[in-house]
Amino acid sequence: MTAASTTNFDEMLNGDGSVRPAYSDFCEWYNSQDTAWLKRQDAEAERFFRRIGITFNVYGEEAAEERLIPFDMIPRIITAREWRKLTRGIEQRVRALNAFLQDLYHRQEIIRSGRLPVQALRNNDAFLAQMIGFTPPGGVYTHIVGIDLVRTGPDEFMVLEDNARTPSGVSYMLENRETMMAMFPELFTKIPVRSVSDYPRRLARSLRACAPPAYKGGKRPVVAVLTPGIYNSAYFEHAFLADQMGAELVEGSDLRVIDGRVAMRTTTGYKAIDVIYRRVDDDYLDPLTFNPNSVLGVAGIMDVYRAGGITIANAPGTGIADDKAIYSYMPEIVEFYTGEKPILNNVPTWRCSEPDALAYVLDNLADLVVKEVHGSGGYGMLIGPTSSKKEIAAFEAKLRAKPENYIAQPTLSLSTVPIFTNAGLAPRHVDLRPFVLVSPDGIDITPGGLTRVALKKGSLVVNSSQGGGTKDTWVLDE
Amino acid sequence: MLGRAANGVYWMNRYLERAENTARLIDVGFHLALTRGNKESADEEWKSVLTTTGQVEAYSAAHDDFSGPQVFNYLLRDKDNPGSVLQMVENARTNARVVRTSITNSVWEATNEGWMTLRDLLSRPVRESNLGEVLSTIRRQSMLVRGALEGTMLRNEVFNFARIGTFIERADNTARILDVKYYVLLPSVAWVGSSLDNVQWETLLRSVAGNRAFTWLNPGSMDPKEIARFLILDGQFPRSLVFCYEKIRSNMAGLAKEYGHEVSAHELLRDAGARLHQISIDEIFEGGLHEFLQDVIGKTVEIGNAIAADYRFIE
């Protein structure tokens, strides 16, 4: 086993190379395995994933229409104590997000109080005027949230991003676990790992609990997953979740509005849907209300929604809460709505729209990470320390031209977890996305999540579209 | 189930059946071409394969001659051929992806693995030396999907649409093969054929995987009328028209039972099925084999269209 780098926190090894308690059982098992056999298992994992068709499509890469997200077989392990603190922090944050959305689309107390400048909403495409004054069924805006966390020390988990629109990746949480259990069943008899497999049932229950006023009881509410179709990068996940929930997987072309309900075309006629878990963006949801060229959505669904005929999960307009410009205000937002100090910290963030912040960012570009306010997926960002002078100069020009489009953060010293390589274990940077379900019955966090890992040595970019991989995430039982 | 999903399951199975049938036709063409002494008549056999699959015009637009490797590579893997086996397997797999939530994991995995296997196998030009392996792989992959379907699917609407797709395609295939080759049988109905005719008839049987079955049922004889009867009216042979129609009937009956009512396709099917059951082989020949087959092909298309419309395959 190689010693961990001294500059960042390694989750498996102490600075002196000894194994931390969370990993002790695993390491004991690992060290007793035959290396050649492990290598074979590693190769086998890829074949397994290809066969079951867990692939994602990369935008703009036609040749590689379906690519595999590399899977690393060394688990990422979180202790029961760490998880308890995380869940408290996540729950607090998600409660605040929903209260914030309710407020933004109604009285806007937070703006009246001066805690959030009105500029944060102005000209922000994520804020949907159509949602003003409307309360979604059950008062839930973000039915499914993926909170991206990074770790910088033994007790230092920070929120990097709140994914409140349509967070993806949960199918990897489930399939990674399936794969690990198939490859190394004995590990799960030795180590008390909490199960994640009932996530789809929890999701179905949570969605059904948000049925709209038009649902009159009787049979269970009808749930459907709305996908853009098989060419979408997350299609596998859409199909997987629909399948596991026993819900219909629908496309825009299957749906139309009939008698004030959104209905799907079945072999025997149109059938009303109560709750739609949509995996299309707000802009494509309703050509009558938003992008008129959209063929992915349903004409008239917003009218049905506002009249109580359907529940849309997540609610349209939730994107305003995970906007990067809003992110920097999250500590204030959490405190404003919960009356408590945030349990999970934000990453310090400079808003380039503010002259002082911009000046600082321009002076320190080489040390900072600069992100587009509306970007996602690791595109359009600058990672100062690993960029060339030329790249930095080019980015500086873009930043000066439109500073309000950017925020900047310090380059975090992300924690590492080892990955399996042919030369043995090697530390790589990771993040963590736990999945959170919200319904009128409460907030439900599945003990686990998606650990993304930067497979390139030293790289801090964990996005699958940029060469990142995934790991099974273990939360240990008490 | 969604109309779009029914459409997907139906076409997934039609494409798989079609890929398998094309492989069988190539196999027969290869066999025949080998037994021909000179290149001209070998090329003629390959041209005949293209005629049967309905691709002779598209092929001729791009190629000047009908040499074996050129023809079977066109049929198997040509990127410009939308009806290539590879493309059909890909279509089947794309449809399977669309209906992922309607089929079992086993069916999906068999379809996906079949696609991966054939994509690799057909990534390079096929040579005569590995043609046999390629063709048997195509047949095997198709059978694996059928086996997974048979062994793991609930006997519900999804299964019924899958089977209807298989048997509509198969009925169409058998009728077309017979129709393209009917002249081989026709002039000789009244007399005992020459050895050449015998080879031709055997070929016809081989191309619908019926040579062994026919021999079991008719030991020592190769009577053209009997061959036609076998391929059209034999209720035991799983590729005969009567058999295919009986399967379509029973799967359509399954749908009527599950949905509690019949649709217009049931009516069409009843008429066409009754005609097949009542007619004798002599009557078929009296009225003209070609005319009869054209009628069956037309009816099958009509029934397929009615099913698509009645069950809302598309908006």
Q: What pLDDT, on a 0 to 100 scale, did the predictor assign at position A378?
A: 57
Query: Do the domain assignments include residue A5?
Result: no
Q: How far apart are the first and last CA of chain A?
A: 28
Contact state of A264 with B109 under an 8 Å Cβ cutoff: no
pLDDT interval class at A66 (50, 70, 90): low
Separation in Å, CA of B94 to nearest CA in chain A: 8
Contact state of B2 with A250 under an 8 Å Cβ cutoff: yes
What is the residue-averaged pLDDT of chain A? Answer: 90
Instruction: Supply A7's token pair.
Output: 């500059």
Cα gap A395→A376, rounded to integer Å:
17
Structural domain span for residue B103? 1-153
User: Is A189 at the interface with chain B, CB within 8 A?
Assistant: no
Same domain, A391 and A422: no
pLDDT interval class at A4 (50, 70, 90): very low
Same domain, B314 and B186: yes
Convert the pLDDT of each residue in B92-110 to its tens digit: 999 999 998 899 989 999 9
Residue from A171, A268, A271, A277 whose CB has the most chain B CBs within 10 Å, to mutate: A268
Same domain, B307 and B203: yes
Same domain, B181 and B304: yes
Same domain, A390 and A434: no
User: Is B238 at the interface with chain A, CB within 8 A?
Assistant: no
B113, closest residue in chain A (CA to CA): A51
Q: What pLDDT, on a 0 to 100 scale, did the predictor assign at position A377?
A: 53
Residue type, position B196, single letter: L
Higher pLDDT, A464 or A126: A126
Average pLDDT for residues A236-259, to the nearest whole number? 94
Please give the full DSSP string across A340-407, using - where no structure is assigned.
Answer: S--SSEEPP-EETTSHHHHHHHHHTGGGEEEEETT--TTTT-EEGGGS-HHHHHHHHHHHHH-GGGEE
User: Is A218 at the interface with chain B, CB within 8 A?
Assistant: no
pLDDT interval class at A7 (50, 70, 90): confident
- 8 A C-beta contact, residue A444 and residue A142: no
Cα gap A207→A157, rounded to integer Å:
29
Q: How many domains does chain B fold into?
A: 2
The residue among B130, B153, B176 that closes a domain is B153
Counting Cβ atoms within 10 Å, is residue A34 exposed (0-12), middle (13-18) or buried (19+)?
exposed
Sign of the dihedral through C-alpha B238, B244, B245, B248: positive
Same domain, A431 and A406: no
Neighbours of A140 (CB within 10 A): 25
pLDDT at A139 over 90: yes
What ipTM is given for this predicted complex? 0.84
Average pLDDT for residues A257-268, to the nearest whole number? 96
Same domain, A164 and A297: yes
Find chain B residues with C-beta within 8 A of A262's C-beta: none
pLDDT at B190 over 60: no
Specify the length of chain B in residues. Answer: 315
Convert the pLDDT of each residue in A272-287 to its tens digit: 999 999 999 998 999 9
Convert the pLDDT of each residue in A431-463 to its tens digit: 999 999 999 999 999 999 999 999 988 888 887
Q: Which of B87-91, B286-290, B307-311 has the lowest mean pLDDT?
A: B286-290
Cα gap A343→A345, rounded to integer Å:
6
Query: Do the domain assignments include residue B11?
Result: yes
User: Is B105 at the interface with chain A, CB within 8 A?
Assistant: yes
Same domain, B46 and B133: yes
Same domain, B74 and B180: no
Q: What pLDDT, on a 0 to 100 scale, did the predictor assign at position A2?
A: 39
Query: Do the domain assignments include residue A85?
Result: yes
Q: How many domains does chain A fold into?
A: 2
pLDDT interval class at B91 (50, 70, 90): very high
Closest by CA position to B43, among listed B11, B18, B71, B67: B67
Query: Do the domain assignments include residue B222?
Result: yes
Separation in Å, CA of A265 to nearest CA in chain B: 6
Cα gap B111→B12, rounded to integer Å:
9
Cα gap B112→B107, rounded to integer Å:
9
Same domain, A331 and A371: no
User: Is B116 at the interface with chain A, CB within 8 A?
Assistant: yes
Query: Do the domain assignments include residue A157?
Result: yes
Query: Do the domain assignments include residue A11?
Result: no
Same domain, B33 and B181: no
The residue among B153, B177, B194 that closes a domain is B153
Query: Do the domain assignments include residue B158?
Result: no
User: Taking a contact as any Cβ pair under 8 Å apart, which residues of chain A between 34 and 63 contact chain B?
Assistant: 50-53
DSSP bridge pairs for A445: A436
| Torsion angles phi and psi, residue A386, rounded to 5 | -105, 10
Same domain, A360 and A444: no
% pLDDT > 90, chain B? 72
pLDDT at A3 over 60: no
- A242 closest CB neighbour out of B4, B101, B315: B101
- 8 A C-beta contact, residue A150 and residue A462: no
Q: Global pTM? A: 0.88
Query: Do the domain assignments include residue A125?
Result: yes
Contact state of A266 with B2 under an 8 Å Cβ cutoff: yes
Neighbours of B47 (CB within 10 A): 17
Same domain, A444 and A391: no
Same domain, A245 and A364: no
pLDDT at B193 over 70: no
Neighbours of B225 (CB within 10 A): 16
Same domain, B179 and B48: no
Same domain, B178 and B72: no
Neighbours of A35 (CB within 10 A): 11
Same domain, B225 and B288: yes
Counting Cβ atoms within 10 Å, is residue A380 exposed (0-12), middle (13-18) or buried (19+)?
middle
Same domain, A403 and A417: no
pLDDT at A405 over 60: yes
A247, closest residue in chain B (CA to CA): B101
CA distances from A46 to A155, A335, B120, B142, B171 (A): 34, 45, 16, 24, 40
The residue among B104, B120, B153 that closes a domain is B153
Neighbours of A220 (CB within 10 A): 12
Instruction: Supply A294's token pair.
Output: 């959209």
Same domain, B140 and B189: no
Average pLDDT for residues A331-346, to the nearest whole number? 96
Find chain A residues with C-beta within 8 A of B105's C-beta: 52
Q: Which residues contact B306 (CB under 8 A, 6 or more apart)?
A: B263, B264, B265, B268
CATH of the domain at A356: 3.30.1490.270
Same domain, A321 and A455: yes
- 8 A C-beta contact, residue A42 and residue A420: yes
Convert the pLDDT of each residue in B207-265 to its tens digit: 898 988 998 998 877 788 889 999 999 999 999 999 999 999 999 999 999 999 999 99
pLDDT interval class at A58 (50, 70, 90): very low
Same domain, A295 and A182: yes
pLDDT at B32 over 90: no
B100, closest residue in chain A (CA to CA): A239
What would you report as the CA-atom Rg of chain B, rounded to the nearest whole angstrom?
20
Same domain, B108 and B182: no
- B311 closest CB neighbour out of A230, A235, A267: A267
Q: What pLDDT, on a 0 to 100 scale, did the predictor assign at position B194?
A: 52
Q: What pLDDT, on a 0 to 100 scale, did the predictor assign at position A264?
A: 97
Same domain, A157 and A97: yes
Same domain, B13 and B42: yes
- 8 A C-beta contact, residue A452 and residue A470: yes
A139 secondary structure, DSSP code: G
Q: Which of A33-47, A143-157, A407-421 has the lowest mean pLDDT?
A: A33-47
Structural domain span for residue A382? 349-410
pLDDT interval class at A67 (50, 70, 90): low
Find chain A residues with C-beta within 8 A of B5's C-beta: 249
What is the residue-averaged pLDDT of chain B? Answer: 91
The residue among A410, A429, A463 that closes a domain is A410
